[in-house]
A and B are shown apart, each in its own frame.
Chain A
Amino acid sequence: MAGSTIDHLISVTVFLGAILIFISLFNQTLQTAILYQRHSALATKCSDLLDNMLLNPGIPEDWGKSDVTPVGFGLQDPEFTQYRLSPFSLMRLRSSVGEPVYYPRTGLTYSNITMGLGNFLLVPYSEAINYSAVAKLLGINGTYGFQLSITPIVTVSIEEIQRKNPLILSVKVTGVNFPLANAHISYCLLTIPIGGGSGSYPFYTIDYGTNFTDAQGSVPLSFPYVKQEVSYVFIVYAYLGGLMGMGYYEHVTYIGSYIIPFIDDFAEGRMLIAHSYDVHNDTDTAEITYNATFVVLAEDFTLRSMSVENSTGKLTYGIGWPYAYVTIPKNVRSNPGILVITYRKSAQETGVVLMPWGISSLAFPVVFGGDPTGQEWVATDIRQVTVNGVAYQAKLALWSLGG
Chain B
Amino acid sequence: MMRTIEVMLVIIIILGAFMIASFFAVLPSPREVSPLNLRRLALTTLQLLDSNYSLSAAAFVDEDDSSFAEVTSQLQIALSACLPPNIIYNLTVYQVLGENSSELYSYKWSISNAESLGVGSDAASLLVASSNVTFRVTPEKIGERGFGGTLYILNCSDANGWWVTGYTTHSLAQDLYNLLSPYFKTTVMVQNTTDLGKILNGTSLQGETVQNAVIINTCGEAVPIPSAYSDGNYARYCHFLGNTTRLYNWTWVSIVGYPLYYVSNINAFPNNNNTYGIYGMIQVGPAGLNAFLRGLDNQAYSYNGNSITNSLSEPVYLSSEARYYCNYYGIYPSPYQTSTRALPDSILTTYHLPESRVTYIFNKVGSWIPGAVYRHVASGDNKITGSLFALGLTRTPDIRLTVLGLLCAFKPRLYRSEYTATNATRLVVLQLGQAGGI
Query: How many angstroms from the CA of A25 to the CA of B80 in the assembled complex?
Result: 46
A47-B37, A51-B40 as given contacts; A242 in contact with B4, CB under 8 Å: no
Contact B51 A389 (CB under 8 A): yes
A296 at the interface (CB under 8 A from B): no
Query: How many angstroms from the CA of A382 to the CA of B85 in the assembled complex?
Result: 13
Pick from B18, B28, B40, B77: contact of A47, CB under 8 Å = B40
Contact A154 B50 (CB under 8 A): no
Q: Which residues of A contact B438 (CB under 8 A)?
A: none
Query: How many angstroms from the CA of A122 to the CA of B124 in the assembled complex?
Result: 39
Contact B48 A385 (CB under 8 A): yes
Query: How many angstroms from the CA of A44 to the CA of B192 in the assembled complex?
Result: 69
Query: How many angstroms from the CA of A240 to the CA of B51 in the assembled complex?
Result: 11
Q: How close is B9's CB to chain A, nearest CB, in angstroms?
A: 11
Least CB separation from B55: chain A residue: A242
A153 at the interface (CB under 8 A from B): yes
Q: Which residues of B contact A177 (CB under 8 A)?
A: 85
Q: How close is A126's CB to chain B, nearest CB, in angstroms?
A: 26
Query: How many angstroms from the CA of A117 to the CA of B52 in the assembled complex?
Result: 33
Contact A11 B7 (CB under 8 A): yes
Query: How many angstroms from the CA of A290 to the CA of B206 in the assembled complex?
Result: 69
Query: How many angstroms from the CA of A278 to the CA of B21 in the assembled complex?
Result: 70
From B15, B44, B50, B83, name the one whose CB has the most chain A CB atoms within 10 angstroms.
Answer: B44
Query: How many angstroms from the CA of A385 to the CA of B74 in the assembled complex?
Result: 19
A162 at the interface (CB under 8 A from B): no
A7 at the interface (CB under 8 A from B): yes
Pick from A12, A14, A51, A178: contact of B11, CB under 8 Å = A14
A389-B51, A391-B48 as given contacts; A181 in contact with B77, CB under 8 Å: yes
A33-B25, A178-B81 as given contacts; A11 in contact with B47, CB under 8 Å: no
Query: How many angstroms from the CA of A316 to the CA of B427 in the assembled complex?
Result: 62
Query: How many angstroms from the CA of A111 to the CA of B41 in the assembled complex?
Result: 31
B35 at the interface (CB under 8 A from A): yes
Query: How many angstroms from the CA of A182 to the CA of B320 in the assembled complex?
Result: 41
Q: Which residues of A contact B1 (CB under 8 A)?
A: 3, 7
Contact A180 B47 (CB under 8 A): no
Interface size on A, residues (CB 8 A): 57
Query: Interface digits, B1-45 against A, CB 8 Å rule (1 contact, 0 not)?
Result: 111101110110011001001100101100011111100110011
Q: Which residues of B contact A330 (CB under 8 A)?
A: 314-315, 336
Contact A382 B41 (CB under 8 A): yes
Query: How many angstroms from the CA of A104 to the CA of B21 in the assembled complex?
Result: 67
A170 at the interface (CB under 8 A from B): no
Contact A22 B18 (CB under 8 A): yes
Query: Interface digits, A173-200 against B, CB 8 Å rule (1 contact, 0 not)?
Result: 0111111111000000000000000000
Q: How close is A139's CB to chain B, nearest CB, in angstroms?
A: 20
B61 at the interface (CB under 8 A from A): no
Query: How many angstroms from the CA of A168 to the CA of B82 in the assembled complex?
Result: 29
A11-B4, A32-B27, A40-B33 as given contacts; A242 in contact with B51, CB under 8 Å: yes
A208 at the interface (CB under 8 A from B): no
Q: How close is A191's CB to chain B, nearest CB, in angstroms?
A: 31
Query: How many angstroms from the CA of A344 to the CA of B167 in the assembled complex?
Result: 51
Contact B78 A240 (CB under 8 A): yes
B54 at the interface (CB under 8 A from A): yes
Q: Which residues of A contact B85 (CB under 8 A)?
A: 176-177
Contact A14 B7 (CB under 8 A): yes
Query: How many angstroms from the CA of A36 to the CA of B34 in the assembled complex?
Result: 8
Interface size on B, residues (CB 8 A): 50
Q: Which residues of A contact B33 (CB under 8 A)?
A: 36, 39-40, 43
Interface hit among A93-101, A128-136, A373-381 = A373-381
Within 8 A of B (CB), among A204-257: 240-244
Q: How close is B24's CB to chain A, nearest CB, in angstroms?
A: 11
Within 8 A of A (CB), among B45-75: 45, 47-52, 54-55, 58, 74-75
B330 at the interface (CB under 8 A from A): no
Contact A40 B11 (CB under 8 A): no
B232 at the interface (CB under 8 A from A): no
Q: Which residues of A contact B315 (CB under 8 A)?
A: 330-331
Contact B49 A243 (CB under 8 A): yes
Query: Interface digits, B305-347 against A, CB 8 Å rule (1 contact, 0 not)?
Result: 0000000001100001000000000000000100000000000
Q: How close is B204's CB to chain A, nearest CB, in angstroms?
A: 44
Q: Which residues of A contact B41 (CB under 8 A)?
A: 382-384
Contact A379 B18 (CB under 8 A): no
Query: Interface digits, A11-36 against B, CB 8 Å rule (1 contact, 0 not)?
Result: 11011001100100110010011001
Q: Which residues of B contact A18 (CB under 8 A)?
A: 7, 10-11, 14
A307 at the interface (CB under 8 A from B): no
B84 at the interface (CB under 8 A from A): yes
Pick from B2, B3, B82: contact of A153, CB under 8 Å = B82
A267 at the interface (CB under 8 A from B): no
Query: How many angstroms from the CA of A323 to the CA of B204 in the assembled complex?
Result: 69
A11-B3, A177-B85, A241-B58 as given contacts; A384 in contact with B44, CB under 8 Å: yes
Contact A175 B7 (CB under 8 A): no
Query: How many angstroms from the CA of A377 to the CA of B50 in the assembled complex?
Result: 35
A42 at the interface (CB under 8 A from B): yes
Contact B3 A7 (CB under 8 A): yes
From A62, A154, A382, A384, name the one whose CB has the most chain B CB atoms within 10 angstroms.
Answer: A384
Contact B10 A384 (CB under 8 A): no
Query: How many angstroms from the CA of A240 to the CA of B78 in the assembled complex?
Result: 7
Q: How close is A246's CB to chain B, nearest CB, in angstroms?
A: 15
Contact B83 A176 (CB under 8 A): yes
Contact B7 A384 (CB under 8 A): no
Least CB separation from A82: chain B residue: B47
Pick from A176, A377, A386: contact of B84, CB under 8 Å = A176
Contact B47 A243 (CB under 8 A): no
Q: Which residues of A contact B51 (CB under 8 A)?
A: 84, 242, 386, 389, 391
Contact A29 B84 (CB under 8 A): no
A176-B84, A178-B81, A330-B315 as given contacts; A242 in contact with B6, CB under 8 Å: no
Contact A176 B82 (CB under 8 A): yes
Contact A42 B4 (CB under 8 A): no
Q: How close is B93's CB to chain A, nearest CB, in angstroms?
A: 14
Contact B77 A386 (CB under 8 A): no
Contact B74 A240 (CB under 8 A): yes
Q: Which residues of B contact A105 (CB under 8 A)?
A: none
Pick from B2, B40, B49, B336: contact of A242, CB under 8 Å = B49
Within 8 A of B (CB), among A42-101: 42-43, 47, 51, 62, 82-84
A8 at the interface (CB under 8 A from B): yes
Least CB separation from A395: chain B residue: B84
Q: How close is B362's CB to chain A, nearest CB, in angstroms?
A: 14
Contact B82 A29 (CB under 8 A): no
A36-B28, A330-B315, A391-B82 as given contacts; A242 in contact with B11, CB under 8 Å: no
What are 27 A-B contacts defined by CB distance under 8 Å? A11-B7, A12-B3, A14-B11, A18-B14, A22-B14, A29-B21, A29-B22, A36-B27, A43-B33, A43-B35, A47-B37, A83-B47, A176-B82, A176-B84, A177-B85, A178-B77, A179-B77, A180-B78, A180-B81, A241-B74, A331-B336, A380-B36, A381-B36, A383-B44, A385-B44, A391-B51, A393-B82
5 shortest interchain CB distances as A-B pairs: A175-B81, A241-B78, A11-B3, A242-B49, A384-B44
Residues of B within 8 A of A (CB): 1-4, 6-8, 10-11, 14-15, 18, 21-22, 25, 27-28, 32-37, 40-41, 44-45, 47-52, 54-55, 58, 74-75, 77-78, 80-85, 314-315, 320, 336
Give 6 new A-B contacts, CB below 8 A, not counting A40-B33, A82-B47, A240-B81: A15-B7, A18-B11, A180-B77, A242-B49, A244-B52, A331-B336
